[in-house]
């Protein structure tokens, strides 16, 4: 073998014939064509991958820094979601060019060398060779262009500051957001057109990766779900003399307003339920002597501080306060949302601390269970006595957040546990801690309302503790609490948890009356118009007052409930509605009305916690209830009126348009009275914050 090789080395190489040279070039060109097509496809696919990678980087950045940015509105998020879709559509469009698609990757079918050689001309051969030599530099140029438009993954911004820097190069508000799909299509087609981006001779503007929307900060941050409602209108007594509503002892709205103001943001108007602001505070209203009549109404009529031509009728009740040694036994089920949306510090970690505070208010023989729900519901702790506190705390400490939110399944499981441990003549209650983001199973308000309505018939009540912001579902929280014979509170700090679950544990957990309704009839010979301040979401039809099948609010041990009407006396220049020219068949003949000094007549209906038939309390309102000067009212009355004015001011109610925040603060400060926990002082600070943030003073 070695001898043969040596012989070949000494043999001179013959000169190639013209035909052989053409055949060799033909084979080379065939291979070049195949390789070029594969490179085109690879580049197209690479661009598509870069688009997806860039989108993923942006999405990851937005998610990691969403709490800092809070600036991406729905349009911007939709644009980011559109990028991968645009990339897929663009790539699909490219596959319709004369190049092969992704399913046809591979070398093209070779052409017979002899046939190809015969077809080649010297001129064509030279052109092909020039193109072959230029390919390398062209690929380098294309890669550089792609880097400029779609930065590689390692160059993606890694902080909120970097994203803000990119956003500063964004176009005007009317410019396209994020990637421009037409430009992407042109860029990807560069190998076909030998051009990138815009038309020849037109300068290419910078391509922003995202644009932070402009607008008020509260509009960008407030993504909570809040029920929309209109403020109560002024009503003519001659046409509609009766006002009926369900009492409300919820306090969630006050905490929501406080959190918003402390964040430097005016709260959304619909998040302000004036009655919940008023009832957030404890008042020293008269308390009944026995539980047989669980509360006693107190009515005060006084001049209105914001309108000298109207009166205020202040209706206050306070529930009978149970002695600690006569509290009924309790069967509580903690139902905790452990879905991924609860991982923030002001959600699940705060829930765990709050539940530990509540344990200290329970008796050693009370029963506690713990149910969680994320993708599905599960029992974390079977019912145990509070005396086994270490076991309960250990179960709470192990809770972690992750997954979707099967709220309906969690409720079903919690009700099942409560039924198994039902305490006759005791308290059977589920305490739901969540941000309200139900997204697995039945999650609409109507379905969940039917569930809690059905379960409350068994004597198991449902209270709600709301946590967090950004996706907080306040509307659902209200629905669940109102129809589950419970209360709704919003916990934004551990101090608020201490107020709700420690100081007010008895009123939060131990009901003394249920389905409490108020109905007021006004005397048209004395009062021309009236307006109920707040309670818009608690309005009832007149006939609902005597219908024991209609659900209403519940009062716990020691709970305070306050309602305020603004009244326009007959003959007052403050009349808002003109009298009808031709009369009205519904108008009363005031000459036939008892000429007494009665302004109105107040009625209350309620049921005992375990009862099905309502009982009635009634009270006429006359001169004995009236005072001539607002300053003569008690501190509690005046302070509650200041809170009512504040709530109306925050809702931009016309009636208090000329009553400034400074005047509201003055009334509240003068009526602060005894304030052992500083809640009234805190209210004064909120008035000042609102004054600083508001356009109206």
DSSP codes joined into one string, 175-216:
SPPSS-HHHHHHHHTHHHHS--SS-TTPPPPP--S--PPPS-
Question: What is the CB-side half-sphere exposure of residue 174 using CA atoms within 13 A?
Answer: 0
Domain end position, chosen among 214, 249, 270: 214
pLDDT of residue 12: 59
Mean pLDDT calculated for residue range 664-692: 96
Query: Who wins on pLDDT, 577 or 376?
Result: 577
Angle at 565 (CA atoms; ends 564, 566), nearest 5 degrees: 125
CATH code, 463: 3.40.50.410
In a domain, 6, yes or no: no
Nearest residue to 648 (alpha-carbon basis) of 345, 149, 383, 305: 305
Q: Same domain, yes or no, for 316 and 348?
A: no
Residues 329-355 have pLDDT tens digits of: 999 999 999 988 898 999 999 999 999
Nearest alpha-carbon partner for 271 in 225, 313, 335: 225
Q: pLDDT tens digit string along 32-82? A: 666 655 555 555 544 444 444 454 444 444 444 444 444 444 444 444 445
pLDDT at 171: 38
Domain assignment present for residue 379? The answer is: yes
Note whether 254 and 282 are same-domain residues: yes
Cα separation, 463 vs 330, in Å, equals: 14
Exposed, middle or buried by CB within 10 Å (0-12, 13-18, 19+), for 228? exposed
Same domain, 655 and 526: yes
Note whether residue 327 is domain-resident.
no
pLDDT at 72: 46
Residue 449 or 568, more confident: 568
Same domain, 500 and 639: no
Q: Is residue 101's pLDDT more than 80?
A: no
Q: Do residues 62 and 183 share a domain?
A: yes
Same domain, 299 and 407: no
Indicate if 386 and 488 belong to the same structural domain.
yes
Average pLDDT (276-294) is 91
As given in the structure block, the two tokens for residue 61 are 């950045």
> Based on the domain organization, do 348 and 452 belong to the same domain?
yes
- Per-residue model confidence (pLDDT) at position 80: 47
Work out the number of other CB atoms within 10 angstroms of the CB of residue 147: 12
pLDDT for 441:
56
* 455, 481, 506 - which closes a domain: 506
Residue 601 lies in a domain: yes
Predicted local confidence at residue 650, as pLDDT? 97
| pLDDT digits 0-9 by tens, 633-677 | 999 999 999 999 999 999 999 999 999 999 999 999 999 999 999
For range 548-576, the mean pLDDT: 93
Per-residue confidence (pLDDT) for residue 322, from 0 to 100: 82
Give residues with Cβ within 8 angstroms of 615, minimum separation 6.
Answer: 605, 606, 607, 608
* Bigger pLDDT: 73 vs 533: 533
Query: Which pair of structure tokens corresponds to residue 209?
Result: 């990766």
Evaluate whether residue 364 is within a structural domain. Answer: yes
Question: Residue 457: what pLDDT?
Answer: 85
| CATH code, domain with 620 | 2.60.40.1230
Please compute the mean of the pLDDT values over residues 501-514 and round it to a whole number.
88
Percent of the chain topping pLDDT 70: 64
Domain annotation covers residue 4: no
**Residue 686, pLDDT score:** 97
Domain span at residue 312? 235-322+512-575+595-693
Q: What is the pLDDT of residues 423-461, one digit of tens each?
A: 998 899 999 999 877 765 555 677 788 888 888 888 899
Q: Which residue has the tokens 């800092």?
A: 68
Residue 325 has pLDDT above 80, yes or no: no
Per-residue model confidence (pLDDT) at position 333 = 96
pLDDT of residue 26: 65
Q: How much is the pLDDT for 226? A: 87
Q: Are 353 and 335 in contact (CB under 8 A)?
A: no
In a domain, 222, yes or no: no
Total structural domains within the chain? 3
List Cα–Cα distances, 290 to 36, 293, 296, 320, 554, in angstroms.
95, 6, 10, 7, 18
| Residue tagged 């093209």 (tokens) | 108
Which of 95-109, 280-294, 302-316 has the weakest average pLDDT? 95-109
What's the whole-number average pLDDT of the chain?
Answer: 77
Domain boundary among 214, 248, 270: 214
**Cα gap 73→219, rounded to integer Å:** 9
Q: Which two tokens stand for residue 232?
A: 């109560």
Q: Retrieve residue 57's tokens.
A: 């980087």
**What is the percentage of the chain residues whose pLDDT exceeds 90?**
47
Same domain for 316 and 342, yes or no, is: no
Query: Does residue 270 lie in a domain region?
Result: yes
The answer to whether 559 and 507 are in contact (CB under 8 A) is yes
3-state secondary structure of 514: strand
Asked if 602 and 673 sit in the same domain, the reply is yes
Q: Are residues 642 and 519 in the same domain?
A: yes
pLDDT at 649: 97
Same domain, yes or no, for 203 and 146? yes
Crossing angle of helices 18-64 and 74-94, in 10° steps, is: 170
């Amino acid at each position: 073998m070695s001898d043969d090789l040596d012989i070949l080395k000494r043999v001179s190489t013959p000169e190639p014939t013209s035909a052989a040279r053409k055949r060799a070039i033909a084979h080379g060109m065939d291979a070049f064509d195949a390789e070029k097509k594969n490179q085109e496809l690879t580049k197209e696919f690479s661009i598509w991958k870069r688009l997806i990678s860039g989108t993923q980087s942006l999405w990851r950045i937005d998610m990691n820094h969403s709490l800092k940015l809070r600036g991406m509105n729905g349009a911007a998020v939709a644009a980011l979601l559109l990028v991968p879709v645009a990339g897929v559509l663009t790539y699909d469009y490219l596959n319709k060019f004369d190049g092969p698609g992704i399913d046809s990757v591979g070398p093209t079918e070779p052409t017979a060398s002899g046939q190809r050689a015969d077809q080649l001309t010297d001129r064509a051969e030279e052109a092909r060779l020039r193109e072959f030599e230029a390919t390398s530099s062209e690929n380098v140029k294309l890669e550089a262009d792609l880097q400029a438009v779609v930065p590689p993954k390692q160059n993606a911004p890694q902080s909120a500051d970097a994203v803000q820097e990119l956003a500063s190069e964004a176009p005007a508000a009317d410019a396209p957001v994020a990637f421009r799909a037409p430009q992407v299509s042109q860029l990807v087609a560069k190998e076909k057109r030998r051009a990138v981006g815009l038309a020849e001779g037109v300068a290419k503007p910078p391509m922003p990766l995202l644009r932070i929307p402009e607008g008020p900060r509260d509009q960008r941050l407030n993504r909570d779900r809040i029920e929309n409602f209109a403020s109560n209108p002024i009503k003519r007594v001659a046409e509609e003399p009766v006002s009926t509503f369900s009492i409300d002892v919820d306090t969630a709205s006050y905490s929501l307003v406080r959190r918003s103001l402390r964040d430097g943001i005016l709260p959304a108007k619909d998040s302000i339920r004036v009655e919940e602001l008023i009832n957030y505070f404890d008042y020293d209203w008269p308390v009944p002597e026995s539980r047989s009549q669980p509360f006693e109404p107190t009515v005060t009529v006084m001049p209105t501080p914001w309108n000298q031509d109207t009166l205020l009728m202040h209706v206050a009740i306070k529930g009978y306060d149970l002695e600690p040694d006569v509290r009924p036994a309790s069967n509580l089920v903690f139902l905790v949302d452990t879905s991924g949306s609860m991982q923030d510090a002001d959600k699940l970690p705060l829930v765990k601390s709050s539940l530990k505070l509540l344990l200290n208010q329970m008796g050693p023989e009370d029963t506690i269970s713990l149910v969680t729900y994320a993708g599905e519901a599960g029992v974390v702790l079977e019912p145990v006595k509070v005396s086994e506190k270490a076991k309960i705390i250990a179960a709470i400490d192990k809770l972690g957040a992750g997954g979707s939110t099967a709220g309906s399944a969690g409720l079903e499981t919690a009700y099942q546990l409560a039924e198994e441990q039902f305490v006759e003549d005791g308290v059977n209650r589920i305490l739901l801690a969540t941000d309200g983001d139900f997204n697995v199973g039945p999650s609409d308000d109507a379905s969940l309302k039917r569930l809690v309505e059905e379960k409350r018939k068994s004597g198991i009540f449902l209270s709600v503790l709301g946590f967090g912001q950004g996706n907080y579902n306040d509307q659902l929280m209200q629905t669940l609490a109102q129809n589950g014979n419970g209360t709704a509170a919003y916990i934004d700090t551990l101090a608020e948890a201490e107020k709700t679950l420690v100081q007010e544990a008895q009123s939060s957990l131990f009901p003394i009356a249920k389905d409490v309704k108020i109905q007021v009839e006004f005397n048209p010979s004395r009062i021309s118009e009236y307006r109920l301040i707040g309670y818009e979401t608690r309005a009832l039809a007149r006939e609902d007052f005597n219908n024991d099948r209609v659900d209403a609010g519940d009062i716990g041990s020691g709970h305070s409930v306050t309602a305020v009407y603004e009244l326009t006396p007959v003959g007052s220049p403050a009349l808002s509605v003109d009298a009808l020219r031709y009369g009205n068949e519904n108008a009363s003949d005031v000459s036939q009305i008892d000429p007494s000094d009665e302004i109105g007549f107040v009625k209350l209906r309620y049921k005992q916690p375990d009862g099905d038939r309502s009982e009635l309390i009634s009270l006429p309102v006359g001169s004995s209830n009236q005072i001539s000067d607002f300053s003569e009212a008690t501190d509690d009355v005046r302070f509650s009126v200041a809170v009512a004015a504040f709530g109306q001011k925050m809702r931009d109610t016309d009636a208090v348009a000329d009553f400034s925040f400074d005047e509201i603060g003055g009334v509240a400060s003068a009526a602060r009275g005894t304030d052992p926990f500083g809640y009234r002082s805190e209210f004064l600070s909120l008035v000042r914050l609102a004054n600083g943030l508001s356009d109206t003073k």
